[in-house]
A and B are shown apart, each in its own frame.
Chain A
Amino acid sequence: MTTHVRDAITVVHGPQGCTHHNFSLLHATSLDNDRIALPPLVSTGLSETDVIFGGEGALDRTLDTVIARDPGAVFVLSTCIVDTIGDDVGMVCGAKAGVPVIVVPTAGFLGGSFQTGVNNALIALAGMAGPADRNGGVNIIGEKNLEYEVEENFAEVSRLLALLDLSVNIRFVHDLATDRIASLGAARLNVLRDPSLIPVGESLKERFGTPYIPAYPVGISGTVAFLESVADTCGVDCRHAVEEEHMLRQQTLDDFADLAGAGIFFTPLPPDPEGSRVAQDIAQALRLDVTSSGCPVPVPVTPPVGIIGVRRLLHRWRRALHA
């Protein structure tokens, strides 16, 4: 998350290996999403000597080096070893002036999951924003920057918001300039990527009074419900938008009507009940027969976002059926 703040640098306070894994993962997914920049991720490179004598000096030196590069902000992530030996990360970071240095507690052994880390990072980043006048925009909160279709999914949500004459304020956090974080509280609505971000939504609601929609629309019927929910929250009229969306839904069913009656089999099996429900709904709407003897069709790890996501999925099913 923090590496998506464009002019900020993220420092991982720990041995090099703790950074390497993140670095390669972020680099590889960036390439998949056509971003060729290296992630701005710096390790404090702790050695055994630092562990014995305390890693605060190494963090201090790394922060000085990094701050000399004049970043918009510095984010400091902790690791297991520094919390085990009791480095006072907050104290070292608090002593730096001129650039915001923000601590994100991420020592894995203290509990929590990948998602907890994401939520902690977003809440820490939100701490950089102050009160702001409403600007009528909508924030997108917690995009899955590692997912393959992150841009397509964002485009689909933007399309739906545009149907309601709403525009995006900031993508929090996706390729975001540090100074834009200040406008976080200006939005009239926050749209969360998925319900696991509700703690972030609640935190922003408490701080800025911004209501939130807990998830992107998924599946064949998600978009209409999403439009209604956004319109309801923002107090705007959605009748025209819903009408258009119904037409697009019907158009999609017509476009893939040739698949009707085919036997299909989901592979791999959807990873959770929601994924299963969404896949079943799509199959049912197209009158496909889900059976163990059917043709194997792919199901994504996260359910397809919006009608456009469903259309991309159906193209893949069609290719599988015609293969």
Chain B
Amino acid sequence: MVMKQIALYGKGGIGKSTTSANLSAALSLAGYDILQIGCDPKRDSTRMLMQGRLIPTVMDQVRERGASGVTPADVVYTGFNGVRCVEAGGPEPGVGCAGRGIIATFQLLEKFGTLTGDVIVYDVLGDVVCGGFAMPMREGYAQEVYLVTSGELMSLYAANNICKAIERLSARPKSRCRLAGVICNAKNQPKEEELVAEFARRVNSHLVQFIPRDRVVQLAELNRKTVIEYEPDSKQAQIYRDLATHIMENPRFTIPTPLEIDDLEALAIEYM
């Protein structure tokens, strides 16, 4: 099959890493060869795939031994069911340039020939904060961007901002980056699914999966596992498997139409 590269973007704390890890786990059990790349200096994207281990990051290795001293074995770790895990990492908070760290990570992974497999899942920092964090959307990387959001206004606001980035980047010649859909990771607000579905429609996309809030997610995390691994027979695990199926079969890739802030607020009020 042609390699599929997808990126999950969304506000910090919204559940991107949980969703990404469960998605990767579900895809791997469906027989796909998966690479998950955490693109956040916070470096905890792949933790649940690695039995709770915070793997050494690409930037840690570069800092310790210089870019030329790093080998693929130093940065690629095999986790649950053979999912290959990479954490980009970054500088200490408050210094340097984390965005450039992402760019350098991608260049190193390219050099190593690591960016292979059936599906690459990029789990990207909360918001598009600079060009470096838009790297996964750039030419040659993820062509499908999924927005992870709840029904909360600030979360939709962040998702809307990412739409702006996709719109901007997709206007470039040769760019194949598209919005592939919206994933609602619910806070269990009333009418949340309807709100997020309507938001998705307004930005010229669609709701790919509604993930209700479930205690099993927290339980799995406390046990340092994905839900897929910890409670494979749970309803929640089935939802992640559905997400995996929907993503693999998704035919709808669009150029988003971001909303003005007033329209976004009006939309949120409509579903209060």
Contacts and interface: CB of A to CB of B under 8 A. Distances in A.
Interface of A: 48-56, 84-87
B92 interface: yes
Contacts of A53: 59, 63, 91-92, 95-96
Contacts of B90: 52
Interface of B: 59, 62-63, 66-67, 90-92, 95-98, 100-101, 104
Given A49-B66, A49-B67, A56 B95 contact: yes
A48 B104 contact: yes
B63 A54 contact: no
Contacts of B100: 48, 51-52, 85
A85 B96 contact: yes
Nearest to B90: A52
A54 B62 contact: no
Contacts of B62: 49, 52
A16 B96 CA distance: 18
Contacts of B91: 52-54
27 contacts: A48-B67, A48-B104, A49-B62, A49-B67, A49-B104, A51-B96, A51-B97, A51-B100, A52-B62, A52-B90, A52-B91, A52-B96, A52-B97, A52-B104, A53-B63, A53-B91, A53-B95, A53-B96, A54-B92, A54-B95, A54-B96, A56-B95, A84-B97, A85-B95, A85-B96, A85-B97, A86-B95
Nearest to A50: B96
Contacts of B92: 53-54
Contacts, number: 42
Minimum-distance CB pairs A-B, first 10: A54-B95, A54-B96, A52-B101, A85-B97, A53-B91, A53-B96, A52-B100, A52-B96, A51-B100, A51-B97
Contacts of B98: 52
A51 B99 CA distance: 10
A50 B95 CA distance: 10
B73 to A, nearest CB: 20
Interface of A, secondary structure class, is helix
A139 to B, nearest CB: 41
A87 B94 CA distance: 10
Contacts of B67: 48-49
Contacts of A86: 95
B109 to A, nearest CB: 15
A86 B66 CA distance: 22
B99 to A, nearest CB: 9
A110 B123 CA distance: 34
Q: Which interface residue of A49, A52, A53, A86 has the most chain B CB atoms within 10 A?
A: A52
Contacts of A55: 96
Contacts of A51: 96-97, 100
A93 B100 CA distance: 25
A90 to B, nearest CB: 15
B129 to A, nearest CB: 13
A92 to B, nearest CB: 12
A56 to B, nearest CB: 7
A152 to B, nearest CB: 47
Given A48-B100, A52-B98, A54-B92, 9 more contacts: A52-B96, A52-B101, A53-B92, A53-B96, A54-B91, A55-B96, A84-B97, A85-B95, A85-B96
Contacts of B59: 52-53
Contacts of B97: 51-52, 54, 84-85
Nearest to A52: B101
Nearest to A49: B62
A56 B104 CA distance: 19
A86 B62 CA distance: 21
A50 B96 CA distance: 7
Contacts of A85: 95-97, 100
B69 to A, nearest CB: 11
A53 B41 CA distance: 11
B127 to A, nearest CB: 19
B63 A49 contact: yes
Q: Which interface residue of B62, B92, B95, B104 has the most chain A CB atoms within 10 A?
A: B95
Contacts of B95: 53-54, 56, 85-87
Nearest to B130: A84
A52 B101 CA distance: 5
A15 to B, nearest CB: 13
Nearest to B107: A48
Contacts of B96: 50-55, 85
